[in-house]
Structure 1
Amino acid sequence: MKQGRIAVILKGYPRLSETFIAQEILNLQKAGLPLELVSLRHPTDTKRHPVHHEITAPVNYLPEYIKDERARVFSGWKIARKLPGYKKARNVWLRDLTRDRTPNRMRRFFQACVAAAELPQDTRWLYGHFIHTPGSVTRYAAIMRGLPFSFSAHAKDIWTSPDWELSEKLNDARWTVTCTKGGADHLASLAEKGNAVRLVYHGLDLERFPVPDSEPSNRDGSDPYNPIRLLSVGRAVEKKGLDTLLRALALLPEDLHWRWIHIAGGPLLSDLKALGQELGLSDRLEFLGSQAQSRVLQAYRESDLFVLPCRIAADGDRDGLPNVIVEAQSQRLPVVSSPISGIPELIAHGKNGLLVEPDNPPALALALEQAARDPSARQAMGQAGMDRVRSDFDAANEIDLLLELLQAD
């Protein structure tokens, strides 16, 4: 194994919504790689998943805003400007700044100065999770230190970043991994060099998501005292399509009895609650907010159908393959979602779930009713989904390519 530490650059750590990143970090740690975590932001979640407690790598929180830690930023800059790659990094940043004159671009350069100054001397590689903001800090800091670097690109960072920036980062990095074929194809079309992008799906730690020991229910929505249980896990943001879901629920026939649970926070949460009240659904909706992984797992096992009608947001943001869909499938839970981004790479319509075009409440309502009234079809789809995840989305297998890449240079 190569000597030296790998610095993993993160936008925030830990984050409840990014269990796939934490799982990857833990797997790299288990493989014996010495890691240093560098976070652009302090955590805002009050809870942690079990995986976060198992990660022992030290975390360095960079100054989120220059004004809050002026002395540290100035000290970092004084050290960074003496590094052999500082002038080159500054020129790369100035070229970026001419095309993106924002305070964010200013902050990232000075965060990179602090990172370059404070990274352990035995650091041999920088690896940025998300190619946009963390990717910029990774690139500038690595150039200052004269070190190789790479990226992991996911969803929003791919689809809301300008092509010029993606292209230049892809060409400068040793390699970039991403988690869906659609994302990989898009990035590869922007890279000038061959083999710049590799497809690595986010796997699950199947020990944390074992096969459920209870059989799926036979609920069919006919009993008002035992309604069909619908579940959504995902931040209340535009791309999740949760407003479409509420409008679809309002269209379900009166003789179909159901309850819907939502897990996660998000900026649109109050809007969703208001919409639910406006549609007269409040007594059948339950908003649990952010929850630890154990509670999420319990919700998967208690539910009959997982629903996440994703869409492409107005600014181009979209999901890749939401990790919560993989988690739900691991628990024998059929999924109703949308045929966008990487979702069809897991969900085959009619086999392990149902796919409905986004922003179509009547079509979504029809799919929900169809799945709710047919327990045997739900059970078959759930079993097919669990089989697929356990054969193709095991994190222990997916980490092998990443380890190979990190050890290659």
Structure 2
Amino acid sequence: MSQIGYVLSDFPVLSETFVGTEIRAMKALGHSIQPMAFRLNPNGGQPIDDELARSATELSAVSTKHAMVEWLKNPVRSIKALSFIMRQRNLPKKSLIRSTGQLAASARTTKCHHLHAHFALHTAATAIAAAKLTGCNVSFVGHGYDVYSHPADLALKLSNVSFSVAVCKEMQSKFQTLNQSKKVHLVECGIDLARYPFKPTLSHNGKLLFIGRLTEKKGLTDLLYALSLIPEESRPSLDLVGDGEQKHELLTLTKQLNLNDYVSFLGSQPSEWIIDHANQYLALCTPFCEAKNGDRDTGPVVVKEAMALGLPVVSSDFMGCKEMISPDTGLLFSPHDIQALSDAISQINQQPSQQRLAQLKRARERVETYFSAHSSAQKLSSAIRGAAQ
């Protein structure tokens, strides 16, 4: 199996659980993985990622001298790498030259055969240039803001990789439209089913649950307005797990809508929290939408986690969510349709126990079939092996 360098901006990151999950699944298939991050955050991620963080290379620690030496080793490759960098319009070229040398030095030291970057911004650009410098294969995976909100020379990147990875069908279609000559593999962010045991219950605490960053693309203002439409005698409470720039706005709106007795802000929690508490709740509610700047969630892992654990899901039919949730495994509504969201909440609250249990079993089976970390890693592994042939 090949030695793969995972190129990351920051690692670990609390909300980016999919990175560690994918690395562990790839290692389980026999790949040797070397995480490479420009900034290491030893205490900034999930506890389960601590071991990977200790084995990671911090690229910014590579000296400028060593980085520049990489540019002198093979003039032909250096010209190809520099040509790619000079065609960048949205990234600073001087820093990209330095980071390319830093990554190339680390990749050569760890004998990487393939570089795989998460996010389609500077990590992807650096990985592509470093691959040209070292002669190895390269790929990147898009996620959300890097593709839809702040894309940086995306078409150029797509034309210079061995292959690219999309996490949902809409993104795959976008990549294929931008560059039809390169392979675009659909590899959903999977979850480790062993960590998320199926434990549904017929009873619940009557509360809705949201988990994620408190940002515009999560649709939380819609959720608060939807709650306010439900009569007080049948209105469920809501626990918001997470933090973010929209927290003050949401606190203000909660007060304006007289929902202080119904909405609780629980702050950020590790992934173990959802595993321990999910089955206590009425449902996970994720009214995802497109932010004003185009940012969006494309394949939210939290939806798959809830479906795996046995927690009903009420979600907008946005991007990858409509691929995850079928009509018999959860409730879907159109983004920003506040009345439909309110009706869906009332519907799940009135759902008979046996119907709830049957729906949860189908949801778990769907995750096992389509969204396990093992199956996603197999797809990525196959793509990497194909690029090496």
- Give TM-score scaled by structure 1 length: 0.87
- Extract unaligned runs of 5+ from structure 2: none
**What is the alpha-carbon distance in structure 2 between the residues aligned to residue 300 and residue 18 of structure 1?**
19
Counting aligned pairs with the same residue, the percent is 29
**Does 2:17 match 1:19?**
yes
The answer for the alignment partner of 1:58 in structure 2 is 55
The alpha carbon displacement at 1:325 in A equals 0.2
The alpha carbon displacement at 1:74 in A equals 2.9
Task: Tell me if structure 1 keeps the 8 A contact 2:81–2:132.
Answer: yes
Say which of 145, 166, 172 aligns to 2:160: 172
The alpha carbon displacement at 1:58 in A equals 2.4
Say which of 91, 96, 104 aligns to 1:116: 104
Written as runs of structure 1 = structure 2, the 5 A alignment for 1:310-349 is 310-349=288-327
Structure 1 pair 109/276, CA: closer, same or farther in 2 (3 Å)? farther
Deviation larger for 173-182 or 73-82: 73-82
The answer for the alignment partner of 1:224 in structure 2 is none
**What is the alpha-carbon distance in structure 1 between the residues aligned to residue 368 and residue 282 of structure 2?**
20
Task: Tell me if structure 2 keeps the 8 A contact 1:7–1:35.
Answer: yes
Deviation string, structure 1 residues 178-217 (Cα, Å, up to 9, x no partner): 22111111111111315x10112222211101111x5231
The answer for the alignment partner of 2:194 in structure 1 is 207
- Extract unaligned runs of 5+ from structure 1: 64-68, 220-226
Task: Tell me if structure 1 keeps the 8 A contact 2:42–2:50.
Answer: no
Deviation string, structure 1 residues 243-285 (Cα, Å, up to 9, x no partner): 1111111221111142211112222222222221222212222
Number of residues of Structure 1 aligned to a counterpart in Structure 2:
383
The answer for the alignment partner of 2:128 in structure 1 is 139
Structure 1 pair 94/329, CA: closer, same or farther in 2 (3 Å)? same
Written as runs of structure 1 = structure 2, the 5 A alignment for 1:75-114 is 75-84=65-74, 85-96=77-88, 99-100=89-90, 103=92, 106-114=94-102
2:100 alignment partner AA: A
Task: Tell me if structure 1 keeps the 8 A contact 2:137–2:162.
Answer: yes
Q: Specify the SS of the correspondent of 1:17.
A: coil
**What is the alpha-carbon distance in structure 2 between the residues aligned to residue 378 and residue 142 of structure 1?**
50
Q: Specify the SS of the correspondent of 2:15.
A: helix
The alpha carbon displacement at 1:371 in A equals 1.4
**What is the alpha-carbon distance in structure 1 between the residues aligned to residue 83 and residue 274 of structure 2?**
46
The alpha carbon displacement at 1:91 in A equals 2.3
Deviation larger for 197-206 or 271-280: 271-280
Task: Tell me if structure 2 keeps the 8 A contact 1:16–1:45.
Answer: no
The answer for the alignment partner of 2:171 in structure 1 is 183
Deviation string, structure 1 residues 45-86 (Cα, Å, up to 9, x no partner): 645232x145377212233xxxxx8xx553244213313223
Structure 1 pair 168/316, CA: closer, same or farther in 2 (3 Å)? same
Q: Specify the SS of the correspondent of 2:251.
A: helix
The answer for the alignment partner of 1:223 in structure 2 is none
Say which of 190, 212, 215 aligns to 1:237: 215
**What is the alpha-carbon distance in structure 1 between the residues aligned to residue 64 and residue 298 of structure 2?**
38
**What is the alpha-carbon distance in structure 1 between the residues aligned to residue 318 and residue 236 of structure 2?**
27
**What is the alpha-carbon distance in structure 2 between the residues aligned to residue 132 and residue 207 of structure 1?**
32
Q: Specify the SS of the correspondent of 1:383.
A: helix
**What is the alpha-carbon distance in structure 2 between the residues aligned to residue 273 and residue 106 of structure 1?**
43
CA RMSD of aligned residues (A): 2.2
Written as runs of structure 1 = structure 2, the 5 A alignment for 1:369-388 is 369-376=346-353, 377-388=355-366
**What is the alpha-carbon distance in structure 1 between the residues aligned to residue 342 and residue 331 of structure 2?**
12
The alpha carbon displacement at 1:400 in A equals 1.4
2:129 alignment partner AA: Y
**What is the alpha-carbon distance in structure 2 between the residues aligned to residue 236 and residue 76 of structure 1?**
41
Task: Tell me if structure 1 keeps the 8 A contact 2:42–2:53.
Answer: no
Written as runs of structure 1 = structure 2, the 5 A alignment for 1:209-224 is 209-212=196-199, 215-217=201-203
Task: Tell me if structure 2 keeps the 8 A contact 1:184–1:197.
Answer: yes
Q: Specify the SS of the correspondent of 2:114.
A: strand
The alpha carbon displacement at 1:324 in A equals 0.2
1:208 alignment partner AA: R
**What is the alpha-carbon distance in structure 1 between the residues aligned to residue 218 and residue 268 of structure 2?**
16
1:55 alignment partner AA: L
The answer for the alignment partner of 1:222 in structure 2 is none
Structure 1 pair 250/56, CA: closer, same or farther in 2 (3 Å)? closer
The answer for the alignment partner of 1:42 in structure 2 is 40
Task: Tell me if structure 1 keeps the 8 A contact 2:17–2:46.
Answer: no
1:180 alignment partner AA: C
**What is the alpha-carbon distance in structure 2 between the residues aligned to residue 16 and residue 56 of structure 1?**
12
**Does 2:386 match 1:402?**
no
**What is the alpha-carbon distance in structure 1 between the residues aligned to residue 214 and residue 145 of structure 2?**
15
Structure 1 pair 315/381, CA: closer, same or farther in 2 (3 Å)? same
Task: Tell me if structure 2 keeps the 8 A contact 1:330–1:386.
Answer: yes
2:265 alignment partner AA: F
